[in-house]
């Protein structure tokens, strides 16, 4: 089993010929040396934005939903667009951690931890919007179906909004579990390195008595595979159900059968946009260039380009079918989307989601962190606009021209969106400071050292569990 049959075309996923110990040192360094100035600046800025958002949300809950720009025609807009945007962001994390694991994409090991953290924070951000939109968030427990004393007031099982509650809470719990299970061995490493004190005791508690024995690893890997298998359908289910919030209606522009897979791909696209934003910055700030190499960026860029094309295909299919349906309402909805008063929004969407990602065809662009960062910002903007275009623009001119209306967000809505970014980045900064940002155990398995010493280096997690036969467990 000591021969590696890997093609010469494959390079190790860690640069710099690092020893296993060096990898541990590199990844644990940010946790142990304490935060730098840049971290404090970023953290305080995010926290300030979060505080501003929280203030505005308090004002809105105190005063009522009337502080928003909604009207009788456009009853759903900014808030729900933000919700869909954030749920979408989360999908890339699960795709990287679960689906790419099943696909044996070993480059995922450098980015999966951070991407999963991103998923969890993004779902938290998403969850706040329906809560806020309730107007009386203290009654949020009414969405839970349980025998109650509210007479006939019972949840509507036929409503996709309720399916959302189930889908997203399941998604959140499974993602959190998956993330935490993956963290345990690394928490144990951090525990073993920590000086006695509160930090060590907390890490020991979180590491659940991990002892690194062969048996522990073997169980761990089995659980990891099972959770990956369970998380995979969740990538589909969550955004499928989010899409059904719209597609089960009879609103032209909302009701179209392509929505479930199209939303899922859009979600992955937007999520990879955010992964690029975070990773291009984090590798620089945290000095992880040897772990998140240009080859990693290249792979992420390729998936972004793929999902951009799938989204493009969906846009084209919608437009073509609206025309070829010869249904006047369908045709109007899309003519209005293209050339109505919000036509510029459609323009922004096409520019950011279809045209600019085409730059990713060039390998030079895909390996340049700076360019990728710029493109990723465009994708973030474009995917937010996609949701705005779908939700608001389909609503504002309905079947009855006398009820047509325009919508513009108020400062409260804009502030709430900013606040959600504050929440997201505050959480992410805390994560970078207190937890190992790279999955140590996994990344060691794809390092050059592991390739040179296939017998001594721990196989990447998954090597054993991908194989029902024990003899294959030592694979490469």
Partner 1 sequence: MNSVSPPSSTAAPGASPGVGLLRPFQAVLLLFVVVAGAAAFAADLRADPAVAWRDLLLANAYFVGVAVIAGLFVAIQCVCGAGWHTYIRRIPEAMISGYLPWGLLGMLALLAGGHSLYHWADAEAVAGDAVLTAKAAFLNPTGFAVRTVLYFALWIFLAGRLIRRARAQDATGDVAATRANVRGAAVFAVLFALSFSLATVDWLMSLEPHWFSTIYPWYVFSSLFVAALCWMTLCVLTLAWRGLLPQLNAWHLHDLGKYVFAFSMFWGYLWLSQYLLIWYSNIPEETVHFLARERTGWWPLFLANVGLNTALPFFALMPAACKRSPRVLGTMCLVLAFGHLLDVYLLVMPSALPDGPRLSWPGVAVWAGVAALFLLSVDRALRRAPLLPARDPYLVESLHHHGW
Q: Which residues lie near partner 1 (CB under 8 A)?
A: 3-10, 102, 104, 233, 236, 240, 244, 247-250, 255-261, 302, 309-310, 313-314, 316-318, 320-321, 324-327, 361, 460, 462-463, 466-468, 472, 475-476
Instruction: Copy the structure tokens of residue 446.
Output: 């794809």
Quick one: how far is CA 242 from the chain centroid?
Answer: 15
Task: State the nearest-atom distance from the C-beta of 355 to partner 1, in Å.
Answer: 15
Q: Which is nearer to partner 1, 106 or 191 (CB)?
A: 106
Q: Which is nearer to partner 1, 194 or 241 (CB)?
A: 241
Q: Which is nearer to partner 1, 413 or 476 (CB)?
A: 476
C-beta separation of 308 from 360 below 8 A: yes
Q: Which is nearer to partner 1, 381 or 475 (CB)?
A: 475
Instruction: Copy the structure tokens of residue 289.
Output: 């260039």
Instruction: Copy the structure tokens of residue 61.
Output: 């809950």
Q: Which is nearer to partner 1, 308 or 392 (CB)?
A: 308
Task: State the nearest-atom distance from the C-beta of 466 to partner 1, in Å.
Answer: 5
Task: State the nearest-atom distance from the C-beta of 333 to partner 1, in Å.
Answer: 13
Residue whose C-alpha is closest to residue 234's, from 285, 316, 172: 172
Task: State the nearest-atom distance from the C-beta of 411 to partner 1, in Å.
Answer: 36
Contacts 24+ apart (CB under 8 A), 41-47: 42/425, 42/429, 43/426, 43/429, 43/430, 43/433, 45/425, 46/421, 46/422, 46/424, 46/425, 46/426, 46/428, 46/429, 47/422, 47/426
CA gap 55, 57 in Å, rounded: 5
Task: State the nearest-atom distance from the C-beta of 253 to partner 1, in Å.
Answer: 12
CA gap 180, 435 in Å, rounded: 11
Q: Which is nearer to partner 1, 369 or 475 (CB)?
A: 475
Task: State the nearest-atom distance from the C-beta of 362 to partner 1, in Å.
Answer: 11
Q: What residue ranges in 296-424 does DSSP mark as E strands? A: none
Q: How many residues are listed for the chain in this entry? A: 476
Q: Which is nearer to partner 1, 134 or 251 (CB)?
A: 251
DSSP letter (8 states) at residue 156: -
Task: State the nearest-atom distance from the C-beta of 269 to partner 1, in Å.
Answer: 15
Q: Which is nearer to partner 1, 408 or 472 (CB)?
A: 472
Q: Which is nearer to partner 1, 79 or 442 (CB)?
A: 442
Residue whose C-alpha is closest to residue 366's, from 454, 306, 416: 306
Instruction: Copy the structure tokens of residue 4.
Output: 């590696």
C-beta separation of 35 from 462 below 8 A: no
Residue whose C-alpha is closest to residue 333's, from 251, 259, 403: 251
Task: State the nearest-atom distance from the C-beta of 360 to partner 1, in Å.
Answer: 11
Instruction: Copy the structure tokens of residue 176.
Output: 């959190």
Residue whose C-alpha is closest to residue 274's, from 245, 303, 254: 303
C-beta separation of 263 from 87 below 8 A: no
Task: State the nearest-atom distance from the C-beta of 85 to partner 1, in Å.
Answer: 22
């Amino acid at each position: 089993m000591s021969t590696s049959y890997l093609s010469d075309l494959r390079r190790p996923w860690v640069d710099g010929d690092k020893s296993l110990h060096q990898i541990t040192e590199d990844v644990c360094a940010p946790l142990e040396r304490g935060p730098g100035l840049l971290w404090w600046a970023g953290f305080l800025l995010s926290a300030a934005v979060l505080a501003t958002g929280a203030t505005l949300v308090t004002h809105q809950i105190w005063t009522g939903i009337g502080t928003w720009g909604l009207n009788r025609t456009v009853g759903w807009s900014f808030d729900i667009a933000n919700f869909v945007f954030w749920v979408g962001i989360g999908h890339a994390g699960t795709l990287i951690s679960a689906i790419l694991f099943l696909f044996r994409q070993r480059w995922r090991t450098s980015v999966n931890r951070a991407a999963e953290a991103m998923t969890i924070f993004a779902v938290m951000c998403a969850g706040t919007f329906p809560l806020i939109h309730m107007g009386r968030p203290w009654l949020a427990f009414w969405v839970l179906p349980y025998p109650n004393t509210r007479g006939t007031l019972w949840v509507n099982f036929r409503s996709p909004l309720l399916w959302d509650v189930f889908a997203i809470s399941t998604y959140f719990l499974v993602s959190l579990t998956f993330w935490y299970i993956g963290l345990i061995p690394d928490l144990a490493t951090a525990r073993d390195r920590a000086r006695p004190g509160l930090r060590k005791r907390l890490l020991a508690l979180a590491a659940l008595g991990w002892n690194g024995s062969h048996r522990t690893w073997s169980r761990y890997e089995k659980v990891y595979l099972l959770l990956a298998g369970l998380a995979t359908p969740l990538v589909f289910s969550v955004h499928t159900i989010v899409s059904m919030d719209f597609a089960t209606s009879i609103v032209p522009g909302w009701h179209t059968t392509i929505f479930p897979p199209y939303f899922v791909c859009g979600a992955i696209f937007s999520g990879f946009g955010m992964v690029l934003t975070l990773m291009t910055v984090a590798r620089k700030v945290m000095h992880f260039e040897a772990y998140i190499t240009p080859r990693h960026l290249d792979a992420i860029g390729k998936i972004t380009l793929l999902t951009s094309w799938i989204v493009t295909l969906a846009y084209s299919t919608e437009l073509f079918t609206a025309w070829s349906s010869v249904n006047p309402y369908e045709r109007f909805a899309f003519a209005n989307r293209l050339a109505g008063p919000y036509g510029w929004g459609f323009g922004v969407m096409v520019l950011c989601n279809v045209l600019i990602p085409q730059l990713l065809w060039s390998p030079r662009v895909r390996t340049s962190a700076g360019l990728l960062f710029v493109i990723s910002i465009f994708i973030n903007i474009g995917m937010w606009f996609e949701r705005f275009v779908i939700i608001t623009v389909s609503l504002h001119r309905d079947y009855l021209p006398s009820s047509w209306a325009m919508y513009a967000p108020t400062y409260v809505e804009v502030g709430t969106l900013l606040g959600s970014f504050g929440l997201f980045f505050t959480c992410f900064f805390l994560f970078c400071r207190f937890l190992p940002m790279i999955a140590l155990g996994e990344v060691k398995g794809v390092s050059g050292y592991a390739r040179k010493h296939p017998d001594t280096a721990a196989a990447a997690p998954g090597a054993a569990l991908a194989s029902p036969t024990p003899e294959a467990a030592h694979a490469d």
